Amino acid sequence: MSWELLRLHAPALLIAVPLVASFAMPILGRTKLSRGIIALGAMALTSCIAIFLSYTVYTSGVLLYVFGAESPALSIPPDSGGIPIRIIFTIDALSAFMTLIVAIVGFSVFLYSMSSDQRHTGLEGYYTLFLMMIAGILGMVNTGDLFNFFVFLEISSLAGAGLVAFRIEKGKAVEGALKFAVLSTMGALLLLFAVGIFYWQYDALNIAAIASRMQFSLLDQIALVMLVAALAMKCGSVPLHFWTPDAYSMAPSSVTAMLVVSSQASLYGLFRVIFTLYGIKLDWVTVGWIVIALGMLSMFVGVTMAIPQKDVKRLMAYHAISQTGYMLLGVGVGIAVLGDPASLQSYGMAAIDGGLFHIFNHAMYKGLLFLTAGAIIYVTGTRDMNAMGGLGHRMKYTMIFFMIGALAIAGIPPFNGFASKLVIYESVYRFSPVLAIIAMLVSILTLASFVKVFHSVFMGPELPEYDTGREVPLPMLLGMGLLAGIVIVIGIFPAPFIDHLVAPAAQALVNQAGYISAVAGGG
C-alpha cells in the first residue's frame, strides 16, 4: 500500500483496524502469545495511523472521508439534491487532537494490560471488547454525522460496561457496570430523540448540514437540553455523576484509564454540539454560564467527595470528576464571551485553549494515576488505603510514577497539569476573579488529598504482609513510563505544544463556518 493510498484511507483504517482485530480475537486469540500479538499489534497500528492522520490534518486542514462513495472527498454526490447523504467523517484539528489522546493512552494501556490482566480467564473476550471500545471512541471523535455519533457512543459504552463487569468481584463490579450501562443507555436514547427531532425539521443527519440550516426553534431548544443532559451525564459532570466512582473504581485499572478517555470523548461531543451544531444561533452568555456552573459544581463536589474515600481508585474517580470541572470551566468561559469579539481575543480563546489543553493533560496524568493504582492493587491485592503502607521500599518506580501523576493533577510545576491550569487561571481571572480563586482552592484540596494517599500507601515502615511484594512486571512499567514521560515533557515545554496542537484545535472548535464549508464544498 503506497503512502498516497494510506493518506487517503487513513480515517477508514483508523476504525477498521481495531474492529478487524476485535472480530478476529475470539477465533485467533486462544493462546496467550497470539492474543498478545494481535491486541498489541492492532493497537500499535491504530496508534500509528492515528498519529499519521493527526499530522495530516494539522498540516493540511480539514479531512473528509465519505463512506461508500466513489471518492473519499465526495461529500455531496450530484444526485443527492444538495444534502450530504452518506456517513461522513469530518476530521478537523479538534478531532485530530482527540484522536491523538486516544492513540497515546490506548497504546500505553494495552502495553500495561499485557501483564496486569494476565491472571484472569476469558481474555480473548476482554481484548475483543477493549478493541471495540477503542474503535467506538475513535469513531465518536471523528464522525461528522449525528446518528453515527450515537452508534459509536453505544459501541463504546456497551463495550465499556462489559469491561467494567469483567471481573465480577462477588457482584460488585457488575453493580457498577449496571449503573454505567443503564445511564449510558438513557443518555444515548435521549441523544437519539434529539437526532430524530433534527431529522424531522431539517431532513439531514450530518452535523454540518444541520448546522447550516439551524433555525433555533422551540424544538431545537428541547433537543439542545436533551443533548446537553445526555452528554453531561456521559462525561461525568456533577448532577449526574454518581455512576462515575462506581464504574471507575470497579473496572480493571487498564480499563479505567480508557474510560477516562471515553468520558472525554463525550465531553468532545458536548463541545461539538454547542459550538458547531448550534453555533451562532445560541444565547452565548446563558449557555456559557450553564457550562461554567456545571464545571464549578463538578470541581467542588468532586474534590470534597474525594477527601474521605478509603478506596484508592474511588478517590481517584472523584478527582476525575473534579478535573472534568476545570475543562468545563475553561471552555465555558470561552462560550460566555464568544459573542464579544474583543474579550474573546483578549482572554476567551486562551480559556478555550486551557480547557482543551487540560483534556489532553488530564487523559495523560489521570491515566497514569489509575495505572499506578492498578499496580498497587496488583501487588497488594487490596484497594483499601488503610491496609497499605511502606510500599515505597519495594516499588520504587511505581512510587515515582505516582508522584509524577499526583503532582501533575495538583497543578505543581514543572508538570503538565500546572501548564494547563495556569492558562485556565489566567484567562478565567480576567473573566471573573472569584471563579479563578475557587479553582485554585480546589487545586490545593486536590494536593492535600494526594499527599494523604502518598503517605498512607508508600511511606511508613514495611508491612509484613507485603514482604513478598516486588516491583510490577516490565510491560506495566513501560505503559506507565510512556505516560509519565509525556507528562514531564509537556510540563517542561508547554509553549510549542499549545501553539502547534492546542491552539489550532481551539480555532477549529470556534470556526463553525469552516466546518460547514468543508463538508458543503466537497461536491
Q: Which triple of cell numbers denotes residue 67?
A: 463512506
114: Cβ contacts below 8 Å, ≥ 6 apart: 36, 39, 40, 475
Q: Is residue 163 a contact partner of residue 251, using CB atoms and an 8 Å limit?
A: yes
Is 377 an interacting residue with respect to other proteins (CB under 8 A)?
Answer: no
* Closest CB 183 distance from other proteins, rounded Å: 10
Please name the residues in contact with 78: beta carbons below 8 A apart, sequence gap of 6 or more.
523
Shortest distance, position 125 Cβ to other proteins, whole Å:
10
Report the residue number, 179 or 358, with the smaller CB distance to other proteins.
Answer: 179
- The residue among 487, 455, 245, 448 whose CA lies nearest residue 366 is 487
Torsion of CA 144, 226, 320, 370, to 10 degrees: -60
Question: Binder to other proteins among 44, 45, 48, 186 (CB under 8 A)?
Answer: 186
Among 67, 289, 397, 454, the residue binding other proteins under the rule CB under 8 A is 67
Between residues 5 and 280, which has the closer beta carbon with respect to other proteins?
A: 5
Instruction: Tell me the β-bridge partners of 143.
Output: 89
Are 40 and 111 in contact by the 8 Å Cβ rule? The answer is yes
Angle between helices 396-409 and 349-380 (to 10 degrees): 150
We find the least distance from the C-beta atom of residue 405 to other proteins, in angstroms, to be 24
The verdict on 123 binding other proteins (CB under 8 A) reads no
**Binding range to other proteins, per CB under 8 A, among 38-46, 167-175, 231-239, 322-330:** 167-175
244 sits near other proteins (criterion: CB under 8 A): no
Selected from 45, 48, 51, 178, the binder of other proteins by CB under 8 A is 178
In angstroms, rounded to a whole number, what is the distance separating the alpha carbons of residues 57 and 63? 6
Q: Is 52 in the site for other proteins (CB under 8 A)?
A: no
User: Element (H or E) spanning 89, and its range?
Assistant: strand 88-91
184 neighbors 218 (Cβ within 8 angstroms): no
Number of residues that bind other proteins (CB under 8 A): 56
Q: Which of 199, 216, 289, 454 binds other proteins (CB under 8 A)?
A: 199
Check residue 7 for interaction with other proteins (CB under 8 A). Answer: no
Residues of span 306-325 touching other proteins by CB under 8 A: 308-309, 314
Binding of other proteins by 182 (CB under 8 A): yes
User: Do 251 and 259 meet the contact criterion of CB atoms below 8 Å apart?
Assistant: yes
Q: Which stretch binds other proteins (CB under 8 A): 25-33, 108-116, 384-392, 428-436?
A: 25-33
Of positions 31, 37, 120, 200, contacts other proteins by CB under 8 A: 200
Does 16 sit near other proteins (CB under 8 A)? yes
Distance CA 45, CA 186 (A): 34
Nearer to other proteins by Cβ, of 202 and 425: the residue is: 202
For residues 456 and 425, what is the distance between their CA atoms, to the nearest angstrom? Answer: 31
Q: Is 147 in the site for other proteins (CB under 8 A)?
A: yes
Quick one: cell of 210? 444541520
Site string for other proteins, 453-482 (x = CB under 8 A): ------------------------------
Q: Minimum CB separation from other proteins for residue 40, in Å?
A: 19
Contact set for other proteins, span 396-415 (CB under 8 A): none
Residue with Cβ nearer other proteins (24 or 440): 24
CB-based contacts of 341: which residues, under 8 Å, 6+ apart? none
Instruction: Name every residue whose Cβ is closer than 8 Å to that of residue 287 and which is 6 or more positions away in sequence.
Output: 274, 335, 336
Kindly state the smallest distance separating residue 511's Cβ from other proteins, in Å: 26
How many residues comprise the chain? 523
Q: Which residue lies nearer to other proteins by CB, 245 or 504?
A: 245
Does 209 sit near other proteins (CB under 8 A)? Answer: no
DSSP count for the chain of H helices, then E strands: 21, 2
Residue 336's CB is within 10 A of a number of other CB atoms, namely: 24
Toward other proteins, which CB reaches closer, 255 or 338? 255
> Distance between CA 476 and CA 228 in Å, rounded?
37
The yes or no reply on residue 161 touching other proteins (CB under 8 A) is: yes
Choosing from 50, 62, 65, 267, the residue that interacts with other proteins (CB under 8 A) is 65
165 binds other proteins (CB under 8 A): yes
Which among 418, 260, 428 has a CA at the least distance from the CA of 335?
428
Q: Least distance (Å) from other proteins to the CB of residue 179?
A: 8
Options 92, 145, 246, 353; binder of other proteins; rule CB under 8 A? 246
Does 192 contact other proteins by CB under 8 A?
yes
Q: Is the peptide bond before 414 cis (omega within 30 degrees of 0)?
A: yes
387 touching other proteins, by CB under 8 A:
no
Nearest CA to 165 out of 181, 183, 152, 188 is that of: 181
The answer to whether 51 contacts other proteins (rule: CB under 8 A) is no
433 touches other proteins by CB under 8 A: no
**Among 36, 136, 176, 269, contact with other proteins (rule: CB under 8 A):** 176
Told to check if 175 binds other proteins by CB under 8 A, we report: yes
Planar angle of CA 288, 264, 494, nearest 5 degrees: 85
For the four alpha carbons of 71, 92, 186 and 320, in that order, the dihedral sign comes to: positive
Give the residues lining the site for other proteins (CB under 8 A).
Answer: 5, 9, 12, 16, 19-20, 23-27, 65-72, 147, 151, 154, 158, 161-162, 165, 168, 170-172, 174-178, 181-182, 185-186, 188-189, 192-193, 195-196, 199-200, 203, 205, 245-246, 249-250, 308-309, 314
